[in-house]
């Protein structure tokens, strides 16, 4: 079925198929007491517009109001709750002065301070001679204890309205903690009890509460520990969130595996031709990866595999072998890349690699127009083109294939599971191979690619020399320029990376334009410039000219991270290296060392370095293992920034913290895959309860796939 079918089915499910017992969760916040349109809008910006959005947002902190000392026992800067008698009001004659109220107990007295307060209101809530409960932060002023603007002022009979442990939530303009907390408590009162979707044995083993009790304890804690990230209520809810997303992907995985594909069998002649014509001996990792891919392609089920390679490990060659097998089996191949530079580079590489097998390779990008585009369209629809490489332009409605049997997506971390479903609609159940040159920690691989089988390229081609990596302060810039000059005289080429396109008065960083001007003044017109503001055609032209040797030095932003390939480049200079993530530094360093010459990478930093910054640069100096570096990057920077969260396709989590809940994810993957295998229709009692979970965490595309087949 197509993604459009899945989305339509999902919409119908939400309207008529979602179990009615879940309706309270999907109720708008305006149904809560005290939440009008304006408050609902603020809640929507901070947490969401439905009750489930409030309930599934964990507290950001907690105020402990359980400390109830006598006045004489209290010290400054504490949250204290006092039972006091109201004494004299000291009303200011000038509104700019505070209104003060003396209060006392049997051990001493203190002052309550109110700025810009209405005296009639304060006389009403704090009548002289009455008992009151006051709670807030204490402070000492002029050697006397006082409390400015108490958080709570209550009559003793209303003591139950004061929560011992007050949870705090994300706020936005127009939303106070009191209003947010009251809304969450209101949502809790409407919380239905749902059938259990977790294995009872696991709940018992972990000593976890039920889903219902976990939400109650998270938002209305019995003890401060209940809101901690490793406490049973939070662990239970984090596992639910992880399990929901993994179950949805497991259902996609089972659906893909069981979907009738085509057995792309071949004698292996085309693959042999490519292997014999290759200018190098394939690594053991390349051969192993292709064997796994070939086995998937020849099976009667659809392939859904991730090829994960370290920088320079040769994933394009493995893709070429897959293209050769597909072409011999009589089907076409589409390879999609994220940029025009990379698409055309892949096309050039594949033309060379597949030429011994006599295969036709072409490229299509957004800038192809007119007769050339029409001729290409005809070649595709009539089957004259065996392999087509392109950007997202490949998947426009006008692009039709005679028989698309294999889809390859490069730099897959820029897409999500929905895109993977969509990009295979151009063919009849084509096999799917996705590739990334960004080594990903196992935790993130499970999170982003749980529906795919994984092959790893963890060896570099023979003859590649280790890249010498050095760390230098920016004060030694003149020495670096001298070294670049010596390299250029030897006939080598140099990449020079800066973090900004142009100078900024606000940020003291080097810009490519400024550095380009400086290096041009020294080395003349053989210094190129490449950055993201150039058109796609300008970028490609500059990349090709650098590769051909028109320029000795290419000053660039991180736009060269993927796609610019010049085998004669032996030096990579990265300014302000401390500002880049390890994964990005590793990708940039991988632009050199692609030939047989000794290569170097110079990491220039502006001191003083933080402990974390120094650790990152030291890891770069000590290792070229992208998988190890990715794990270290995970530890030092966390998951959010590892692949560039906004474009990574990685799921966002509210309750789960991937760094602290890594063990939960491993268990959730196994649990979800087992349930999807033994109960693919989710028809058992646990399976039906798990359907509720999928709806609750909005992973119901898994149900849509399952029910629509």
Task: State how far the Cα of 454 lies from the Cα of 626, in Å rounded to an integer.
Answer: 16
DSSP one-letter string for 155-188: -GGGGGGS-SEEEE----TT--HHHHHHHHHHHH
Can you give 589-640 as a three-state secondary structure string?
Answer: HCCCCCCCCCCEEEEEECCCCCHHHHHHHHHHHHCCCHHHHHHHHHHHHCCC
Nearest C-alpha neighbor of 650 from the set 419, 319, 339, 335: 419
Write the DSSP symbol of residue 14. I
Q: Is the pLDDT of residue 274 over 80?
A: yes
Confidence of residue 646 (pLDDT cuts 50, 70, 90): very low
> Do residues 431 and 284 make contact, with C-beta atoms less than 8 angstroms apart?
no
- 0.85 cut: is pTM over it? no
Cα–Cα distance, 53 to 336 (Å, whole number): 36
Strand partners, 140: 145
Please give the average per-residue pLDDT across 295-313, as a whole number: 88
Mean pLDDT of 228-251: 95
Q: Are 131 and 84 in contact (CB under 8 A)?
A: yes
Coil/strand/helix, residue 64: strand
Average model confidence (pLDDT) across the chain: 87
* Rounded distance between C-alpha atoms, residue 642 and residue 582, angstroms: 8
> Confidence class of residue 705 from pLDDT cuts 50, 70 and 90?
low
Q: Can you tell me whether residue 138 is helix, strand or coil?
A: strand
Return phi, psi of residue 84, to 5°: -130, 165
Tokens of 328: 């011999």
| CA–CA distance, 410 with 321 (Å, rounded to integer) | 15
Among 608, 574, 606, 616, CA closest to 508: 606
Q: Is the pLDDT of residue 641 over 70?
A: no
Q: Quick one: CA dihedral 604, 606, 608, 611, positive or negative? A: negative
Q: What is the pLDDT of residue 562?
A: 59
How many angstroms separate the CA atoms of 649 and 562, rounded? 18
The pLDDT value recorded for residue 564 is: 67
> Alpha helices of 230-369 — where are they, by DSSP H?
232-258, 269-277, 284-298, 315-328, 340-354
Mean pLDDT (whole number) for 221-248: 95
Least confident of 28-42, 216-230, 308-322, 345-359: 308-322
Higher pLDDT, 1 or 351: 351
Q: What token pair was written down for 613?
A: 């910054």
Domains belonging to the chain, first-starting first, are: 66-162 (2.40.50.140), 269-457 (3.40.50.300), 468-623 (3.40.50.300)
Percent of the chain with pLDDT over 70: 89
**563 and 311 in contact (C-beta within 8 Å)?**
no
Looking at the chain, how many residues does it have?
709
- pLDDT of 227 > 90? The answer is yes
- Any residues with CB less than 8 A from the CB of 375 and at least 6 apart, and which? none
Determine the average pLDDT of the residues in 47-62: 95
- pLDDT of residue 644 exceeding 70, the answer is no
Residue 13's pLDDT is 44
pLDDT at 8 over 50: no
Residue 456 DSSP SS3: strand
Please give the average per-residue pLDDT across 205-215, as a whole number. 97
Q: What is the pLDDT of residue 187?
A: 96
Least confident of 2-11, 479-488, 624-633: 2-11
What would the pLDDT profile of 415-468 be if each residue is shown by its tens digit?
555 666 666 777 788 999 989 877 777 767 777 777 788 898 888 877 778 899
Grade residue 3 by pLDDT with cuts at 50, 70 and 90. Answer: very low
């Amino acid at each position: 079925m197509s993604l459009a079918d899945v989305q339509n089915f999902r919409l119908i499910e939400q309207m008529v198929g979602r179990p009615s017992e879940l309706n309270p969760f999907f109720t708008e916040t305006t149904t809560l007491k005290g939440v009008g349109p304006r408050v609902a809008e603020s809640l929507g910006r901070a947490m969401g517009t439905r009750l489930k959005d409030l309930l599934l947002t964990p507290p950001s902190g907690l105020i402990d109001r359980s400390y109830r000392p006598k006045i004489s026992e209290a010290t400054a800067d504490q949250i204290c709750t006092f039972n006091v008698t109201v004494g004299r009001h000291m009303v200011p004659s000038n509104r700019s002065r505070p209104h003060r109220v003396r209060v006392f107990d049997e051990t001493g007295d203190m002052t309550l301070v109110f700025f810009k307060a209405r005296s009639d209101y304060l006389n009403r809530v704090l009548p002289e001679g009455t008992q009151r409960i006051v709670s807030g932060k204490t402070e000492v002023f002029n050697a006397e204890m006082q409390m400015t603007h108490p958080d709570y002022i209550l009559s003793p009979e209303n003591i139950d309205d004061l929560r011992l442990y007050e949870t705090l939530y994300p706020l936005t303009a127009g939303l106070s903690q009191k209003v947010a907390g009251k809304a969450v408590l209101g949502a809790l009162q409407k919380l239905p009890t749902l059938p259990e979707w977790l294995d009872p044995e696991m709940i018992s083993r972990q000593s976890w509460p039920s889903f219902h009790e976990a939400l109650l304890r998270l938002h209305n804690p019995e003890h401060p520990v209940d809101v901690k990230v490793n406490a049973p209520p939070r662990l239970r809810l984090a596992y639910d969130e992880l399990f929901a997303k993994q179950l949805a992907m497991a259902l996609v995985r089972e659906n893909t595996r069981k979907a009738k594909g085509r057995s792309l069998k071949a004698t292996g002649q085309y693959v042999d031709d490519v292997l014999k014509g290759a200018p190098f001996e394939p690594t053991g990792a390349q051969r192993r990866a292709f064997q796994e891919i070939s086995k998937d392609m020849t099976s009667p089920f659809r392939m859904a595999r991730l090829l994960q390679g370290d920088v320079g490990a040769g994933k394009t060659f493995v893709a070429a072998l897959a293209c050769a097998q597909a072409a011999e089996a009589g089907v076409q191949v589409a390879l999609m890349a994220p940029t025009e530079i990379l698409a055309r580079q892949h096309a050039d590489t594949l033309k060379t690699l597949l030429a011994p097998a006599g295969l036709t390779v072409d490229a299509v990008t957004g800038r192809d127009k007119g007769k050339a585009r029409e001729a290409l369209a005809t070649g595709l629809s009539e089957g004259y083109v065996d392999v087509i490489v392109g950007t997202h332009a490949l998947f426009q409605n006008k692009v039709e294939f005679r028989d698309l049997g294999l889809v390859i997506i490069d730099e897959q971390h820029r897409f999500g599971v929905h895109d993977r479903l969509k990009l295979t609609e151009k063919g009849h159940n084509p096999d799917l191979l996705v590739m990334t040159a960004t080594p990903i920690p196992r935790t993130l691989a499970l999170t982003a690619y749980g529906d795919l089988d994984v092959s790893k390229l963890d060896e570099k081609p023979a003859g590649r020399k280790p890249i010498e990596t050095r760390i230098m302060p920016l004060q030694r810039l003149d020495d670096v320029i001298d070294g670049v000059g010596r390299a250029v005289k030897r006939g080598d080429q140099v990449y020079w990376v800066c973090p900004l396109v142009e100078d900024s008065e606000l940020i003291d960083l080097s810009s490519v334009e400024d550095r380009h001007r400086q290096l041009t003044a020294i080395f003349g017109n053989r210094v190129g410039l490449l950055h993201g503001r150039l058109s796609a055609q300008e970028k490609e032209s500059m990349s090709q000219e650098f590769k051909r040797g028109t320029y000795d030095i290419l000053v660039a932003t991180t736009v060269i991270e993927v796609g610019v390939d010049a085998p004669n480049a032996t030096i990579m200079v990265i300014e302000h290296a401390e500002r880049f993530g390890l994964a990005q530094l590793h990708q940039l360093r991988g632009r050199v060392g692609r030939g047989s010459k000794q290569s170097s990478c110079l990491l220039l930093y502006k001191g003083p370095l933080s402990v974390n910054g120094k650790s990152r640069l030291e890891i770069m100096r000590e290792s070229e293992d992208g998988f190890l570096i990715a794990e270290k990057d995970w530890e030092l920077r966390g998951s959010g920034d590892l692949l560039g969260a906004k474009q990574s396709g990685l799921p966002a989590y509210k309750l789960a913290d991937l760094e602290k809940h890594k063990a939960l994810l491993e268990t959730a993957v196994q649990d979800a895959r087992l349930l999807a295998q033994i109960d693919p229709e989710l028809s058992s009692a646990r399976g039906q309860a798990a359907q509720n979970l999928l709806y609750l965490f909005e992973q119901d595309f898994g149900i849509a796939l399952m029910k629509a087949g």
